């Protein structure tokens, strides 16, 4: 005898009281789609697995779970417990919490992004940032595009398309995402002219390479994500400027990770600032907004007005322009640099780099105490090192405090996997059979969240 298959109709499911909340909170077509999937699965199970028919309520609850999973945003907040301050995969720089209300207001309302309130006429979106950047850096003019790769591309295309750009062979870098200086030059229509060797480039290498008809630009690139040590030599920016002046050529400096202040007094090594680069004579300096600056993803171009005005008029600029949220986030971050102490206290990147050992240890002790409540964990406080990340200061190891955890009833692989799948995902690092929480990149208010997520995994 043929088995009878019992599956409620979609209409019956839609009319059920239990479905009404779903219809209020989710698009009707999405609800119908998942009701059909739940019904099809039940039908298949009855045919192949001798399963019992499911009630309307059971099918709706199954559909509800899949609807909620399908409708969740893919971009979610995570807790960075790795100790890498500028973690590229986790969004690099955290923005200052002081900007939260301002950014929400900008995001949810109309704003004067290209409108001049004084005259009632159309304005430029770049005016919102230029005055602040020129004040902070001492540059004549400034322009902001969507990242530093775009800043380099726009600068090269505007200043040297169809002409030669001279650069040291030791500075032909590749950064994350396979962004390579030689290939970006080709894309910008420039002719790359390498000088020197991998480890040594001299002043005379540039001087001999200059062709007064073909050379348009001298380019220096900061080796931000690697270093050359030992038998090496390079030409300083100041020397390169002297060469450029003698030949009547502009000098461009791609800093990559631009800093606006020194953190030497907080134990970090001396790092060249944007102001230093301009003072040394660079005509154009490009750098990232989301690295050591501590702002949103952006590419900042500062330097001589005559060159930047040409970039503003270039057709490529529109394709690379920033939106209102980037403008607001970068402007809010830059404003804090007018008071150096305020910047270090309120910009998370600077705060995490400058934080004292005492503060780190106190945070680690708090987390250690919270996690030690679980008998199924072996918890220990230990010293370790953090990384700056984002291709910045690659050799620098920052002393830090770690909370190491060894789960007794599950593997460390399963433990960190479950932490990633929690309500608020926690991204930690592992070492052998240990899970390591580096408190440098965990804020005070996140310590209890980490503890809650660990408790959820253990339960």
DSSP state of 200: B
Does 425 reside within a domain? yes
Instruction: Report the range out of 62-71, 193-202, 231-240 with the highest average pLDDT.
Output: 62-71
Place of tokens 């404003």: 335
pTM of the model: 0.88
Question: How far apart, in Å, do the first and last CA atoms of the chain sit?
Answer: 47
pLDDT in tens, 23-40: 999 999 999 999 999 999
Helical residues (DSSP H) of 324-395, grouped into ranges: 324-335, 340-346, 348-354, 357-371
Give the residue from 346, 371, 390 where a domain finishes: 346
Q: Is there a single domain that holds both residue 291 and residue 220?
A: yes
Distances (CA, A) of 36 to 8, 13, 26, 43, 59: 10, 10, 15, 10, 9
In 10 A of CB 313, how many CB atoms? Answer: 9
Q: Which two tokens stand for residue 198?
A: 């991998």
- What is the per-residue pLDDT for 197? 84
pLDDT(19) > 70? yes
pLDDT of residue 245: 95
Q: Average pLDDT of 89-111?
A: 94
List, for residues 240-278, the tens digit of each pLDDT value.
999 999 999 999 999 988 899 988 888 888 888 999 999
Range with lowest mean pLDDT among 51-65, 111-125, 151-165, 213-227: 213-227
pLDDT for residue 183: 84
Q: Please check whether residue 4 lies inside any domain of the structure.
A: no
Q: Are residues 28 and 108 in the same domain?
A: no
**Residues 332, 361 within the same domain:** no
Structure confidence at residue 248 (pLDDT): 95
Q: What is the pLDDT of residues 329-346, one digit of tens each?
A: 999 999 999 999 999 999
Instruction: Quote the percentage of the chain above a pLDDT of 90.
Output: 78
According to DSSP, residue 321 is labeled -
Mean pLDDT value across the chain:
92
Q: How far is CA 107 from CA 322, 324, 447, in A?
A: 14, 8, 29
The residues that bridge with 193 in the sheet, in sequence order, are 166
At residue 1 the predicted structure's pLDDT band, cuts being 50, 70 and 90, is low
| pLDDT at residue 350, rounded to an integer | 95
pLDDT of residue 85: 96
Task: Compute the average pLDDT of residues 230-235.
Answer: 74
SS3 state at 269:
coil
Reported as a single tens digit per residue, the pLDDT across 268-320 is 888 889 999 999 999 999 999 999 999 999 999 999 999 999 999 999 999 99
CA 447 to chain centre: 22
Same domain (yes/no): 134, 254: yes
298 and 360 share a domain? Answer: no
* pLDDT, mean of residues 129-146: 96
List the domain range (segments joined by +) for residue 412. Answer: 79-87+352-458
Please tell me the total count of domains within the chain: 3
* Cβ neighbours around 6 below 10 Å, total: 12
At 175, the pLDDT band (50, 70, 90 cuts) reads low
pLDDT over 90 (residue 379):
yes
5 located within any domain: no
Q: Do residues 65 and 145 share a domain?
A: no
Give a yes or no: residue 170 inside a domain. Answer: yes
CATH number at residue 125: 3.40.640.10
């Amino acid at each position: 005898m043929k088995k009878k298959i019992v599956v409620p109709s979609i209409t019956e499911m839609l009319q059920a009281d239990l479905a009404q909340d779903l219809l209020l909170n989710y698009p009707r077509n999405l609800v119908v789609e998942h009701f059909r999937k739940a019904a099809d699965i039940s039908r298949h199970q009855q045919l192949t697995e001798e399963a019992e028919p499911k009630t309307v309520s059971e099918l709706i609850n199954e559909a509800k779970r899949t609807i909620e999973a399908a409708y969740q945003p893919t971009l979610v907040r995570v807790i960075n417990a790795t100790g890498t301050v500028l973690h590229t995969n986790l969004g690099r720089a955290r923005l200052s919490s002081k900007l939260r209300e301002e950014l929400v207001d900008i995001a949810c309302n109309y704003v004067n992004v290209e409108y001049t309130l004084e005259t009632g006429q159309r304005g430029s979106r770049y005016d919102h940032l230029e005055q602040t950047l020129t004040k902070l850096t001492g540059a004549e003019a400034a322009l902001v595009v969507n990242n530093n790769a775009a800043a380099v591309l726009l600068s090269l295309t505007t200043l040297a398309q169809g002409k030669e750009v001279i650069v040291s062979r030791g500075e032909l870098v590749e950064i994350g995402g396979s962004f390579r200086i030689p290939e970006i030059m080709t894309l910008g229509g420039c002719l790359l002219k390498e000088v020197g060797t991998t480890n040594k480039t001299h002043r005379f290498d540039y001087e001999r390479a200059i062709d007064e008809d073909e050379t348009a630009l001298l380019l220096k690139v900061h080796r931000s994500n690697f270093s050359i040590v030992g038998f090496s030599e390079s030409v300083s920016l100041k020397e390169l400027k002297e060469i450029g002046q003698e030949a009547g050529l502009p000098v461009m400096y791609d800093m990559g990770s631009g800093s606006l202040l020194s953190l030497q007094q907080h134990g970090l090594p001396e790092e060249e600032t944007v102001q230093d680069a301009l003072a040394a004579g660079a005509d154009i300096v490009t750098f990232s907004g989301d690295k050591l600056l501590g702002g949103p993803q952006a590419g900042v171009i500062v330097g001589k007005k005559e060159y930047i005005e040409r970039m503003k008029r270039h057709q490529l600029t529109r394709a690379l322009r920033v939106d209102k949220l980037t403008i607001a986030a970068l402007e809010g971050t830059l404003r804090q640099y007018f008071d150096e102490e305020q910047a270090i206290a309120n910009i998370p990147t600077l705060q995490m780099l400058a934080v004292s050992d005492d503060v780190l240890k106190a945070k680690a002790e708090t987390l250690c105490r919270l996690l030690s409540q679980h008998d199924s964990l072996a918890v220990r406080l230990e010293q370790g090192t953090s990384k700056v990340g984002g291709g910045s200061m690659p050799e620098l190891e920052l002393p830090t405090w770690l909370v190491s955890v060894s789960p007794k009833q599950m593997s460390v692989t399963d433990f960190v996997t479950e932490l990633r799948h929690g309500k608020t995902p926690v991204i930690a690092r592992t070492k052998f059979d240990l899970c390591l929480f580096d408190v440098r990149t965990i804020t005070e208010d996140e310590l209890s969240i980490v503890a809650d997520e660990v408790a959820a995994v253990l339960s």
